[in-house]
Structure 1
Amino acid sequence: MIVTSTRTIAALLALLVLLGAVGAGAAVPDARIAIDGVATSSSEPVVGERTALNVSLSNSGGSPSAADVTSVRVFDAGDADDADDRDDDIRDEATAVGALSAGDATDVTLWTRFDEPGEHRLTVEVVAEQEATDGDEEADTTVRVTRDVIVDVQPAEVALDVRTRPLSPADLQSEEDDQSAGGISLNGIDGLFGGGGGLQNADDDEELAAAADSPVEVTVVNTGTATADRVSLTAVGVPVGADGEAEPTVEVGPFVVEDVAPGEERRVIVDLGPLAERSDVTVTAAFRSELDAAAGASANRSTTATLRYPTREGQPTVTDATVQTLDDGRVVVDANLGNAGTGELTGVVVSVAGADGVDPTPTGQAYFVGSVGAGDFVAFDVRTTANASVADEIPIQIAYTERGVRYTETTTVALPDASDGSDGESGAIGTFGTVGIIGLVGVAGVAVAGTVIRRRDV
């Protein structure tokens, strides 16, 4: 008869408990599945925007067997700890993701939205089933892994900024042309051209440029935090100085532009078409957003920009005018035509405009000045007949071309009083009024006077 001591029995029991604990630990590979990272599709998602969570999973290379990922889901951190109570709080879930062998990895995309700005703490949970080891079919093989992530949500703002830049037809040139003079390549501006009822691809720059009468570069910039979609452009112009009831000089559009994401811009050329006179043009960008659609909003948002077209950089000015009346009633105006602007005036022609008591310059006898550069001047003289009892000033008409557009403007110089000289002759400094536009002629050649034209370069 073998008698076993109490100490021996206690040692055997402790050994059995230890072996059982080791076996149970080996059968539950909780540490084998890992969430390597959770990244949002946008670094700064906004309220109401559909945001993707890219979840990276892996099965450790030391895992004894493959794991079948049955569920990947996301919910607000702090929700019920009991997995059975989370079903109503789940933001999104991907099921039947697939098996991961030892050392394998995969990515899963979940989607969600946020109703409030600020920091949101989310929990991503992965559930996997792994084959039991050591032939223990009844071992618990469900693996649950969680990872928290903080998402900083920005307030939603849908905003567009519209910028305009008047061009001339000469600014539109092909990519082969020299760009050093400030020319614009249509293909360099998103390849879009607004005119003739819609946007056209600029496959043939020269053809589109030749067809443009009054081109304007329009830049649409998204300064908000949400994408602007259904963007369209319209342009309406009225005569310069006209009241609110004036008939429009131009109405073009709408031209549909592609969606504009936050921080992006779209540039197009809008052709206003032929203009009969200089106009104040309002360009309107109408747009909507995904947030508007989700909220059921039907009204378009809009933003506007204004410009004066055609733009002018030259500024003709008459200075140092001397007006002299002769015995036979003729009047001689001797003055300088200066350019106080920053652009060159070309094809400049000066003449006397008809007025009460003043005879206009006969056809073919206007004074051809030619070109006047920025900050330069050219002397001229014109002659007419005037009835001093009716007229007290002489209207001087100035026609010139700038950036391919022909302008006609007038200013006045004062007739001298008879008391300024004897026997009807007088030498006096005339005065001139503010230059005002009296008409916009088309892009046409200048009329060059005949043999009576005089020019004095000083």
Structure 2
Amino acid sequence: MLSVVVGGFAVGGAAAVPDARITLTEVGVSPGAPTVDERATLNVTVSNSGGSDAAANLTTVRVRDADGDVLDSASGVGALSAGDSLDATLWTTFREPGEKRLTVEVVANQSTSGEFVTVSRDVVFEVRPTEVALDLRTRALDPEDLRSDDESESATGDLGIGGIQGIFGGGGGLDTGDGGQGEASPPAVDSPVEVTVVNTGTTAADRISLRAVGAAVDGDGAETVDVGPFVVEGVAPGEERRVIVDLGPLDRRSDVTVTAAFRADTDRRNDRGADRSAESTVTYPVREATPTVTDATVRETADGVVVDANLGNAGSGEMTGAVVSVGDAPGVAPTPAGGEYFVGTLGASDFVGFDVTTAANVTVAEEIPIRVTYTERGVRYTETFSVAAPEPATDDRDGGGTLGRLGAGGLGTVGTVASGLALVGLAGAVGVAVRTGRIGGPTGRRRDGSAP
């Protein structure tokens, strides 16, 4: 809040109308609501009325606090003819927050009489407490998000995301805010992460540098990426900057921590370095494919236990290089190397039939683990599902073998082992019989299609 209270003038000697009619036309405070220890600027405009009979020499412009103490002053400001005005600048800082009332005074010497005229004006505004707060937000992107089909677009337009101000790391290093890029294409990126630096505090942040360090999500947690530091322009309170950090080639899914080191404006005045920090963690790459095993039938044959089921993709991402095999479990022999069932590529909402055979002791085995391995965005994943093993044979069984069909209405029910993925039955899907191959095995049948 900023308010101005107009004061009067005083003339040395008799209380007569002065020949020089000096007025404080304007007193502005910048910023309008300064923070504690932030330098506040008072922009003062002084005028000599056009109806004045004399010119005036401005000897002093000063500002006082509520106790009358002078906070800043300027001497020998200049001369004012009738109808002229001039500007003066004063500075001050505040140690405590709250409402402040300052008085700006102008002392002028009349050219005709030599008398001094003093004009004052009050200004009231709020001083905010200092809050240093930099928020870092990260979002994993796909390289396709940064590409455009329109080759005529500028590099900034080709980013496909508005407001991006730079690409760093990997094939990056491009400052997209540079108008000199012209028609150049944006740099190729492998693993882009959008980083938004938001200043939610009350003081500016500068000397901002970003660094990204990642460790594998699965396995031994070994470091997979370490890029940076990358310099980002300063951010004023209430503003933000968005950049792309390219992590480079990644063959393992990683938890990546992006750290922003920075210096607050108050630190600069105190000769403090950029030793503050903010961080955000993102998992890369994005994982959008969701494998599911449905419509499972388990039967015991002379060659072993056969699992006949559908592999579906209930997610929005594409699975490539998908293979299905039987995992290790009590009473169940895993599929030997080279004996996996090759499925290939599954798009979103697609499914394909498969069958795998394993040697199993049905008197011991309670469930058969179905292992699905696939690639998404260059990273190889393995998910394990479970289907119930067939019931042990009884004395009155017929010669057709034991058949176990899971679920009601023909839809199989399978459990996920250590995957945490929700399983979605692809109900009502119509299969189409085609021929396909099996790695290391005989030709088998394949049913594939898209979920409705």
State the partner residue of 1:58: 47
Contact 1:198 1:253 in 2 (8 A): no
What's the TM-score once normalised by structure 2's chain length?
0.77
Structure 1 residues 242 and 161: CA distance shift in structure 2, 3 A = farther
Structure 1 residues 424 and 292: CA distance shift in structure 2, 3 A = farther
Structure 1 residues 240 and 187: CA distance shift in structure 2, 3 A = closer
Structure 1 residues 270 and 434: CA distance shift in structure 2, 3 A = same
Shift of 1:361: 7.3
Shift of 1:262: 0.3
CA shift digits 1:55-74 (9 cap, x unpaired): 11111010112222222111
Superposed counterparts of 1:232-271, under 5 Å: 232-240=209-217, 246-271=221-246
Whole-angstrom distance in 2 between the partners of 1:126 and 1:177: 62
**2:97 aligned with 1:117, yes or no?**
yes
Contact 2:97 2:127 in 1 (8 A): yes
Contact 2:366 2:388 in 1 (8 A): yes
Superposed counterparts of 1:366-377, under 5 Å: 366-368=342-344, 370-373=346-349
Shift of 1:372: 3.3
Whole-angstrom distance in 2 between the partners of 1:176 and 1:77: 63
Which of 124, 132, 140 pairs up with 1:166?
Answer: 140
Structure 1 residues 197 and 318: CA distance shift in structure 2, 3 A = closer
Higher mean C-alpha displacement, 251-260 vs 384-393? 384-393
**2:118 aligned with 1:144, yes or no?**
yes
Shift of 1:174: 4.2
Contact 2:313 2:351 in 1 (8 A): no
Whole-angstrom distance in 2 between the partners of 1:76 and 1:370: 74
Structure 1 residues 340 and 367: CA distance shift in structure 2, 3 A = closer
Structure 1 residues 154 and 381: CA distance shift in structure 2, 3 A = same
Which of 351, 359, 365 pairs up with 1:378?
Answer: 351
Higher mean C-alpha displacement, 307-316 vs 297-306? 297-306
Structure 1 residues 304 and 289: CA distance shift in structure 2, 3 A = same
Structure 1 residues 175 and 98: CA distance shift in structure 2, 3 A = farther
Shift of 1:201: 1.4
Shift of 1:127: 1.6
Gaps of 5+ in 1: 1-22, 80-88, 133-138, 438-447
Which of 15, 26, 36 pairs up with 1:37?
Answer: 26
Whole-angstrom distance in 2 between the partners of 1:397 and 1:372: 20
Structure 1 residues 223 and 314: CA distance shift in structure 2, 3 A = same
Structure 1 residues 223 and 119: CA distance shift in structure 2, 3 A = same
Tell me the matched-pair count.
Answer: 398
State the partner residue of 2:190: 213
Contact 2:64 2:71 in 1 (8 A): yes
Shift of 1:435: 5.2
What's the TM-score once normalised by structure 1's chain length?
0.76
Whole-angstrom distance in 2 between the partners of 1:367 and 1:173: 30
Whole-angstrom distance in 2 between the partners of 1:238 and 1:384: 37
**2:294 aligned with 1:314, yes or no?**
no
Shift of 1:229: 1.4
Counterpart amino acid of residue 310 in structure 1:
P
Which of 343, 349, 356 pairs up with 2:322?
Answer: 349
Contact 1:92 1:112 in 2 (8 A): yes
Shift of 1:52: 0.7
Contact 1:364 1:449 in 2 (8 A): no
State the partner residue of 1:101: 81
Shift of 1:391: 6.6
Give SS of 1:382's match.
Answer: strand
Counterpart amino acid of residue 155 in structure 1:
P
Which of 373, 377, 385 pairs up with 1:411?
Answer: 385
Shift of 1:195: 0.6
Larger radius of gyration: 1
Contact 2:38 2:94 in 1 (8 A): yes
State the partner residue of 2:428: none
Whole-angstrom distance in 2 between the partners of 1:106 and 1:176: 54
Structure 1 residues 319 and 304: CA distance shift in structure 2, 3 A = same
CA shift digits 1:120-149 (9 cap, x unpaired): 1111111222211xxxxxx34222111111
Give SS of 2:393's match.
Answer: helix
Whole-angstrom distance in 2 between the partners of 1:340 and 1:367: 16
State the partner residue of 2:70: 90
Shift of 1:270: 0.8
Contact 2:40 2:92 in 1 (8 A): yes
Counterpart amino acid of residue 428 in structure 1:
G
CA shift digits 1:319-358 (9 cap, x unpaired): 23111232133x43222334444x1434463421564723
Q: Where is the strand percentage greater, Structure 1 or Structure 2?
A: 2
State the partner residue of 1:8: none
Contact 2:60 2:77 in 1 (8 A): yes
Whole-angstrom distance in 2 between the partners of 1:302 and 1:197: 26
Which of 434, 441, 446 pairs up with 2:416?
Answer: 434
Structure 1 residues 416 and 206: CA distance shift in structure 2, 3 A = farther
Counterpart amino acid of residue 290 in structure 1:
D
Structure 1 residues 392 and 386: CA distance shift in structure 2, 3 A = farther
Whole-angstrom distance in 2 between the partners of 1:205 and 1:319: 49
State the partner residue of 1:69: 58
